[in-house]
Chain A
Amino acid sequence: MKSKWFKITDNSRSWEEFYRKRWNYDYSVRSTHGVNCSMACSWEVFVKDGLICWELQKTDYPQIDPDIPNVEPRGCQRGATSSWYPYSPLRPKFPYIRKVLWEYYLEERNSGKDPVEAYGSIVEDPEKSVAYKSARGKGGWSRITWDKATELVAASQIYTIKKYGPDHIANFSPIPAMSLLSFISGHRYNNLLGGIYCSYYEWYHDLPHVSPSMFGEQTENCESSDWYLSTYWVVAGTNINMTRTADAHFLSEAKYRGSKIVVVSPNYSDVTKHTDLWVPLIPGSDGAYFMACIHVILKEFYAEKETPYFNDYIKKYTDFPFLVLLENDGNKYQMGRFLRAADLSEYANEENPDWKLIMTDGKRKLHLPTGSVGFRWEKEPTGNWNLQLKNAVTKEEFDPLVTLIDNHDEKAMVSFSDFTDTYSHTVGKTNGKGEKAVEILREVPAQKIKSKDGSELLVTTVFDLLMAQAGVSRGLGGDYPKDYDDPKPYTPAWQEKLTGVSRKLAIQVGREFAENAVKTKGKSTIISGPGVQHFYHGGSIYQRNQAVMLALCGCNGVNGGNFNHYVGTQHTRLNAPFVNLGSALDWVKPPRLMNTTSLWYFHTGQWRYDGMPLDTQWATGAKKLPGYNHAADMNALAVRLGWLPFFPQVDKKNPLNIYKEAVAAGCKTDDEVKEWVLNQFKENKLNFAIHDVDAHENRLKVLTVYRGNLIGTSMRGHELTLKHFLGTHNNVLWDEEPAKGLVKEINWIEPSPLGKLDLLVNLNFRMDSNANYSDIVLPAAFWYEKYDITFGDMHTFIHPLTPATDPPWESKPDWEAFVIIAAKFSELAKKHLPEPVKDVVFKALWMDSPDMLAQKNGEIKDWRNGDIEPIPGKTFPDIAIVERDYTKIYDKMVSLGPLVCKPHGYGSKGQYTDLTPIVEEELKFNKKFNIRNDRVYFERSEQVCELICQIAPELNGRLAWMFFKEMEKKVGLPLADLVEPVKQKRVAYRDLIIQPRRIHTTPQWSSILFDPKTGKQRTFAPFTMNVERLKPWHTLSGRQEIYYDHQGIRELGEALPTNKPPLDPVAIGDVNLDKAVGKSKVFRFITPHGKWQIHSTFRDHWPMLQLSRGGPTVWLNPEDADEIEVTDNDWVEMYCENGIEVVRAVVSPQVPRNMAITYHQVERHVNVPFSPLAKKFKRSDLRGGNNNATTRIMMNPHTMIGGYAQFTYYNNFWGTSPSERDHGILIRKMPLQSGEKKVIYQEKDLDQLINI
C-alpha cells in the first residue's frame, strides 16, 4: 500500500513501543472521589510501577432503559485530576501539631501529669491558651507520632467531658453519600461519647426548605436520566454544565429529543449556551419571576378555562381543597389555620382530631378525608393514612370542592401582605434600613359552617386564598390587578421592575410550561439550583414558587416532571444504615443532633454582628412574633419550645452533673430526674445555655473536623470566626458590634470573648485552610487508598471505593483513625471515667415521629411567658437519660449493638422494623464478620462496608419487603408487592466491586423504580409512589402542602407562595459606604459553584490552576470594571465590614452589571497576596482572606419554626441556613508597589507592602 500521500519510512516502526509502554499498566481498581459534588461517579484507577498514575471513568453501569441514554461515562475534569493528590507536596504525610501547644504539653507531661491533667492545665491557663490559640494559622508545625496525637485528642475529650460535659464536644464531617463509611466512622465515635452531631445540609444552605415544608421530605428529586423524559425544561439558578457535569449530556440529548430548554440566569452561564430561551433576570428576583408565571397559569388554565388534568391532580395530591378558617380582624379577615376534625362535632371524637383536616363537597357536606398526619400516628393504625378521596369516618367516596367561587355564602375581604418594597433588588438602593410590608385587601369566596361548640366559622379553600394572593380576581372585589399590564402583585408587569426582564417572558414561559404539561400529563420540569436557593428567602420562598408552579401543572410525582433541585448530596440512598450506624443508634439514643448554622452563629460570635431587626419580614397582621425581633431572639425561643436543638444545653451545667444533683436531691428513677430537671427550669434554677452563650462554661470546647473544610470552605463569617472562635489574626473591619441593644434574650458580655474554642482537630489529606488553622492535623488516606461506599442523587447506583495502594507515609483511612482514637479513649477513660455515668440529653422535637403532633394548631405558646405549661416533648424539649460507659467506647464502635433488634428498633424516616431476622438469620452466618459475645463485630473497614450493604433495604430485598409490610399497616393499601420480585435479592460488597448495582424500591424513598409486573426498570422520579400508590406525603395534610398554616409562618406573610426581595447588605449595615476607599463600587456578591473545583478540592493543584486563572478571581462586567479602572487580570480588593478578600479580576462580557461572581470555594492557601487595605486599617490578618471573608451568617426565622407536622426538626431535614447570596462588597483596584508593580506574597517582603 505505497502512496505518495504517505511517508513510508524504511525504518522499522518499532519506536512506537515508546508510547505503548506508557499505556501499559500493572493493574487497575474501581474507586471514586469522596467529594461533595453529588455526582457519585465510578472510576477506574490505574497503577503502574506501584504508583497511582491515572484514572478513567468506568462505563459499566447497568442499563435502565434502552430508550434512555446511559449514565456512562460519569466523571468530570475535576475527578480526573485526582491522581495528582496522592503524592502531592500539598499532602500532610505525618501527624502534625503546632509547636507552641506541643511544647506546653510535653512540659506538663514531663512534670508528671497524665495526659488528661496535662491538657487541662494548658487550656485553663489564660496565658498559655492565648499563646497557642493566637498561633493558629501561622505555620510552626511539629511532627508527632500517631500514638501521641491520639493520646492528646482522647485526653482533650475526656477532660472536656469530665469538666464541662459531652455536649461541649462537636464533630463535623459533611455529606454521608460521598463516602458513607468514612462519614460513619467519626460520627459513630462522637455519638457514643454524647458529643454534638453537627448537621451540614442546611448549614451549606443546600437544604431547599420548600422540600420539607411542601413535601415533608428532606430532598427528593429525579435521577438525571429522568430529565430525558421531560419535554419542557426550566433551568433556573443552576449551571448544570458546571456543577452537574456528568449529567449535563442529558440536556442536549433531551433537546434533540424535542424538549424546549429555558434558562433563567443573570449571566450568560455555561448552560445558557444550550438554551432555547434565556431569561437574564436580576439576581435574587427569581421569586418574583415565578410568582408571575403562577399568576399566568392560574389565570389561563384555572380561571379562564377548566383544565381537567390539572383539576384532577390538585384535588388528589395537593392541599388546595382543604378548608381554612378566616379570622375576623375588624373590618377584614386574616388568613387562619386549617379547619380540623376537632372543630366539628361529627368528627371531634376521632383519634388525633387536631391533626386531621377537612374538605367540603358541592353539597355542603364536610368530609374528613383519609391521609392527614393524624392518621399516620394513630396508636393502633386504622389503615387510613392514604390519599383516597374517601371519608375516613363514613367511608364514602366524595368529590371535593377546590374552590368556593360558585358555592360561597359571602365574599370575605382578606388581608394580604406585599413585601415588594421592603428592600431594593439593587444593593444600596433600599429606602433607609428597609421598609415594612404593605397591606393589600382582596375578596375571597367563603362559606359559613357550624363549629362543635355551635359558633359560626367562616372558611375558604387553600385554592381560593392562592387565587386572591396571586391576584387573579374572577370578578371578586378588592385590590386586584386589572390585567397582565397592571403592575400590582403578582402580575407579569409587576415582576418587570424587579427582574429587569419583559413581562412577555413570564407570560410565554408560564403559558408554554402549562401547555406542555397538559399535553404530556405533567412532563414539564424545573431544575433549580443555588442561584435561586442560596438567598435568605431562596429555599423558603423562591424555590417554593417553582415547586407550586409544578404542582399547579400536575408535574410532581411524574416521570419527566418534578421540582428538581440538586444542591448538596443529600440522597443518602442507604439511609437506614447511615442513620443507625452513624448515630450509633444500635447502642444509644438519642444523639445530640444539632442544626449547625445556629451552632456557628452563636459560638463563633457572629450573632453579635447581626444588625438586622426583623421588622421588614413581618406580615402586616403579625402580633406574636414581632416581640422576638432578631434572629438570635427567635432562635432562643425556638430552643426553649423544642423547635430547634442547641448545645451546650444547660447554662453552666455539665449534663453528667445534673443527673448527680438530681439524685442528691432525692430522685430515684429516671422519670423523677426528668421531672426534677423540668421543675428546675420552671423555678428558674436551670436555664438554657443559649441565653448566656458567651459564658466560659457555655462554649464549645473541642471540635473535630474530617472529610470537610469547615474553616476554609463553609464558614461564612470566616474572619469573625478567626477572631472569636479561633482567637487568631483577622481582618474584620467592624468598629462596633451592631447587635448590641437589638438582642434581648441573650446575655451581652463585654468585651466579646476571643478564642472560644480549646482544640481543633483535623483529619485531612490536604494542607488546606482547615488544616492550617487546626491545632492537630492527622494525615488521612486518600480516596484511592481505602474501602468505602458511595452514591448520590443523580443516579440510582451504589458503588465502592477500593484501595489502589495502601495509604502511603503515615496516612490512615478515616475508619481506622477513629478506631484507634476510640481505643485510646477507652484506655484513658479507665482512670478518669471508670464507672458508667448518666447523661441528661435534651432533644428537640423530631420529624417523622409522633413529635410531629406536638404543638397543635401551630400556635406559638412561649411557656416562659406563661402562655402554656412546659411539657417535655410537647412544649419543651424532650428530656432523655442516657447511660454511657466510657471504657467501652471501642467495643461498641466496632460491634453491632442490641437496640436494632427490638420492635421498630431499626429504620429511618419514620419507617421502622425489627432487624432481628436479618441479624440472626443472615449476619451471624455471614463469614465476612467476626462473631463474638453473640455479637457481630466489624473492626476492618471492608467488614463495615459489607454490614452497610446487608442492612440497607435498598440492597437487601428482604429488608425492603419487611419495611413495606410495616408501612402497609398504616397506609391500608398494598405496597409490598413492589418488592416481591426482589425479596430474595441481596447485594454483597464484593458485588459492588464487580459492578455498580441499582437500588431496590424502598419506603425510605418515594419513587417506584420498576414495575413489579413487567419487571421494566423506571428512572427515579420522586413521589411516583405517592401518586400511583396513594401513599401520603409526610405533611400535615398528607398532600403537597401549598398553605402553611403555622402561626409563625402566617405572621411572616409566607402562608402562601409570595415574594420577598433579597436582603440589602447596605441597608443592614454590612457594607459601609463610608469606608469606600478610592474608586470603589458596590456589587451584589454571588458565589456559585465553579468549574475548576468542587468547593475547595481540586482547586489547589496545578492541573486545575492551569486550566483556570491560577488563583482566586472575581468575574466583573467590562463597563463596571471600567468604572473602577480595572482591566482583565488586575488584582482587586473586595471588602465590607466583615473582612477583606484579595483576588484577580476576570473581566467578561458574559457578566451583567452590578454583580460580582466569585466561584466558591476560594481558599487562602494558594496564590493569595497581602492586602494594602488590611494594612491601612491596621488589621492583624494582612493576607487577603477567602471568599467568606466578606460574608456573615444571616438566619431566616421561617427556618426556625418547629414542633408542628412537617415543620419539625431533624438533622439536615430542617433548620437555619446561613444565606449565601444576600451579600454585598465594595471592590477597588489593588494598589501595587510602585516600580516593580508586584504583589507581596511572603512575610519576608512585608515591609514593602504599601499602605494606601
Chain B
Amino acid sequence: MKVKAQMSMVFNLEKCIGCNTCTVTCKNVWTNREGAEYMWWNNVETKPGIGYPKQWENQDVWKGGWVKKDGSIQLRYGSRVYMLLNIFYNPHVPEMKDYYGDDVYTFGFDNLHTTQEMTQQPMAAPKSMVSGKEEIDINWNVNWEDNAGGSHITGQLDTNFEGMTKEEKDAYLKFKQVFYFYLPRICNHCINAACVGACPSGAAYKREEDGIVLIDQNRCRAWRYCVSACPYKKTYYNWRSGKMEKCILCYPRVESGLPPVCFHSCVGKIRSFGVIFYDMDKVEETLKVEDDELIKKHRELILDPFDEKVIEAAKESGYSDDWIDAAQRSPVYKLFKKWELALPLHPEFRTLPSLFYIPPQSPVTTSAGKSSPDESDVFDMTESSDGGPLIHPDELSKFRVPLKYLANMFSVGNTYEIEKSLRRQLAVRHYNRSLRVDQEPNLEILEKEGLTKEDADGITRAVSLAIYEERFVIPNTRREDAEISPYTERGFAGFDQMTPWSPMKRRKSLYTSHHTPEKSFE
C-alpha cells in the first residue's frame, strides 16, 4: 500500500442553482486580463446542451482522455509518435469559434460620454475584446445555453442522450417534457491526468503533496497537447503570454487552509472540499477495469482513513497527524466513498477525476398535455405517490430527468449507480420528514437503502446544515517541510529578490536540528 493524499471535491447538483458566482469570482481573481479573456477555469453549463467549448464531451470530435487498448491505457489522441509528428499542427484543438463564435466581446462604452451633439441616443455597441474590432456579432459564449436557451437545437448534439430514440430525445427538448439542470465544471485534478500525460515539455505536473495539477509557466512551450488530451477541455492557451493556463485549484489559498475562491463563493453551498487518501499501488489496475466496474474500483482505490493500516501507511508516506485528521473529517470521503452519493463525471474518460458530483433529484411529473397549456389543453401532472406527499424511492421512473441521461454522464450508461444515489437521497428525505411531520422516525426506508440512522443524520448534516468549516476541511501545507527553516524565512518572506536581478542566496539555518533526522536546519 502506497498512500497518496489528493485534494478532492464534491459538487452537489441537486443544490446547484446555476448562478455562476463561482465562475465570476474565479474570473475576477485569476483570468481578468489580456490573453485570458476567453478563459473560464470555472464555468457552469446547462444540461442538456453542448457546453464550453462546443461539444467538449464528444471525444469523436476532440479525441480527449484515455482509452483501454491492448491491455494498457493510452491517450485517445494517439501515440507519442503521432503527437510528435503533428507537433506544429495539432488537428484536435478547439478554435475561437468553438469558444466564442465570432469573438470575445465587450462594448463601446466611451460613446456614452460623447461631447458630440447627436440626433439619436448614443449607445455602446459590441466590439472585440481582443482586436477592438467594432460591431462584431455575438453568437456564442461560455454560458450560451443558460437555462436551456436554444437547447431544442443544441440538445440534439448532447452525447448524454446516447441510447435513447430520436422520438425520446425530441420529446425532452419540448416544453411538455423539458428538463434542465446545471453542471459546474473546473479542472478535475485527475489522478491520471491526461494533460500531464500528453505534455511534450514536461510542463504539466501533479504536485506531490496534494495532487493539484499545474502547468509550469516557465517550461510550457504551448504545444497545446494538454488541450487536446484533456477530455474536459480545461486547459487554455494565453495568446498574450504564449503559455497554457488552467485551474490551479487556488493553491495559494489551499496551502493556507482556505478553499479555492469558487468553493468559498459557492452561494448554493453545493461544494465540499477535502483530502482523500488513495493507494498509489492500485491506480494502474483501477484504470484497466471494464466500464461497468470503473466506479466501484474508483471507490476501492480511496482508502479508509480510519483504518489502522491506512493510518500507518499514511504516516510512512510522510503525512502528518493533522492531514490524517483532515482525511478522516473529509466530506469528500463520506459523500463519495462512505455513502456512495457522489459520482465522477464521465468516468469512461479514465482520468480518475478528483471531483465527484451528486446527481440531481428532479420534479416528478407526468403529463397528459399536448405541447403547452392553453385554454384547450390541460396539464395533468398528478400521479400522487403512495408514500405520502414525497415520491417513494421505488418511483424513480417518474423523475423528469431521464435516468439514462444521468447514467451517461456519471456512470458510463449504467443506471445502477445513479439509482443508488437518488434512492438514498430520497430515503433520507422520507426519514427526515417522518421525524418532523409524523414525529415517528421511519427507519425502515433507510434500511432498505442500506443506510443507518447515523448515516442519514450524517448525510443531512453534510448536504444541508454543514457550515463553512465542515464543507471545507483543508489541512495547511506544512511550511516547515520546505527547504529553508521557517525560523529564518519569516523575516525574509517577500524579500526573495533582495537584489532586483537575482534571487537571494540564503543559508538554510544557523541552528542544528534536534527533531527530524534528514533535516539539519530545523
Contact = CB atoms under 8 A, between A and B. Distances in A.
Do A and B interact with each other, yes or no?
yes
Given A276-B364, A1149-B178, A1238-B135, A140 B117 contact: yes
Given A23-B252, A282-B374, A496-B378, A57 B267 contact: yes
A767 interface: yes
Given A252-B14, A519-B438, A426 B375 contact: yes
Nearest to A91: B109
A881 B348 CA distance: 81
Residue among A92, A1119, A1148, A1170 with most chain B CB within 10 A: A1148
Contacts of A141: 113-115
A955 to B, nearest CB: 25
B14 A139 contact: no
Interface in B1-24: 2, 4, 12, 14-15, 17-21, 23-24
27 contacts: A1-B208, A7-B196, A13-B207, A15-B217, A23-B253, A24-B252, A53-B29, A59-B264, A63-B467, A73-B468, A75-B21, A75-B265, A231-B437, A249-B15, A249-B17, A253-B465, A258-B433, A258-B434, A273-B363, A276-B390, A280-B379, A1107-B23, A1107-B143, A1149-B173, A1150-B180, A1166-B123, A1167-B123
Contact of B208 (A6, A59, A1100): A6
Interface string A49-88: 0000111110100010011111011111100110100001
Nearest to B218: A15
Given A23-B253, A76-B267, A140-B118, A767 B109 contact: yes
Interface string B153-174: 1000000000000000000011
Given A9-B216, A23-B250, A1167-B124, A1110 B138 contact: yes
A1108 B144 CA distance: 7
A1208 B12 CA distance: 49
A500 B378 contact: yes
Contact of B181 (A53, A259, A273): A273
B381 A502 contact: yes
Given A5-B283, A729-B120, A1107-B143, A22 B217 contact: no
B381 A516 contact: no
Contacts of A911: none
Interface stretch (B53-61, B99-107, B413-421): B99-107
Given A268-B178, A500-B373, A248 B118 contact: no
Interface in A177-221: none
Contacts of A1166: 107, 123-124
Nearest to B115: A141
Contacts, number: 426
A257 B436 contact: yes
A548 interface: no
Contact of B147 (A77, A249, A1091): A1091
A99 interface: yes
B25 interface: yes
B150 A1128 contact: yes
B374 A426 contact: yes
A1110 B120 CA distance: 22
Nearest to B12: A252
A280 B150 contact: no
Contacts of B4: 1, 3
A274 B181 CA distance: 9
Residue among B30, B365, B428 with most chain A CB within 10 A: B365
B13 to A, nearest CB: 9
A15 B174 CA distance: 51
B150 A56 contact: no
A1106 B375 contact: no
A17 B123 contact: no
Contact of A73 (B143, B265, B435, B460): B265
B378 A516 contact: no
A1153 B160 CA distance: 27
A249 B269 contact: yes
A956 to B, nearest CB: 30
Given A81-B28, A257-B432, A1106-B104, A139 B118 contact: yes
Given A275-B363, A504-B382, A772 B122 contact: yes
Given A80-B21, A1241-B125, A505 B467 contact: no
Interface residues of A, number: 147
B288 interface: no
B242 interface: no
Contacts of A9: 202, 205, 216, 219
Given A6-B205, A56-B265, A274-B14, A1107 B146 contact: yes
A244 B125 CA distance: 31
B380 interface: yes
A1111 B138 contact: yes
A249 B463 CA distance: 10
Interface in A235-287: 241, 245-246, 248-249, 252-260, 263, 268, 270, 272-282
A1201 to B, nearest CB: 33
B147 A16 contact: no
Contacts of B124: 90, 1100, 1165-1167
Interface of B is mostly: loop
A20 interface: yes
A508 B151 CA distance: 32
B339 interface: no
Interface of B: 2, 4, 12, 14-15, 17-21, 23-25, 27-30, 32, 104-107, 109-126, 129, 135, 137-139, 141-144, 146-153, 173-175, 178-182, 191-192, 196, 199, 202, 204-208, 214, 216-219, 248, 250-253, 261, 264-269, 280, 283, 317-318, 360-365, 368, 371-375, 377-382, 384, 389-391, 425, 428-438, 459-460, 463-468, 496, 503
A7 B431 CA distance: 47
Q: What 6 A-B pairs are tightest by C-beta distance, nearest first? A: A258-B433, A500-B373, A258-B432, A140-B117, A502-B380, A7-B205
A711 B186 CA distance: 41
A1164 B105 contact: no
A1115 B149 contact: yes
A1117 interface: yes
A1106 B142 contact: yes
Contacts of A263: 363
Contact of A1241 (B135, B191, B269): B135
Given A7-B205, A729-B120, A1100-B107, 19 more contacts: A3-B4, A9-B202, A57-B264, A139-B115, A141-B115, A241-B18, A253-B465, A256-B425, A270-B18, A273-B360, A273-B362, A426-B375, A500-B375, A505-B382, A1107-B141, A1117-B175, A1152-B175, A1153-B175, A1243-B119
Interface in A1107-1143: 1107-1111, 1115, 1117-1119, 1127-1129
A1119 B384 CA distance: 30
B150 A258 contact: no
Contact of A8 (B208, B437, B468): B208
A69 B114 contact: no
A1242 interface: yes
A1182 interface: yes
A226 interface: no
Contacts of B32: 54
A1110 B267 CA distance: 24
B105 A54 contact: no
B264 A257 contact: no
B465 A69 contact: yes
A8 B198 CA distance: 15
Given A231-B436, A1166-B123, A1128 B30 contact: no
Contact of B29 (A3, A22, A1183): A22
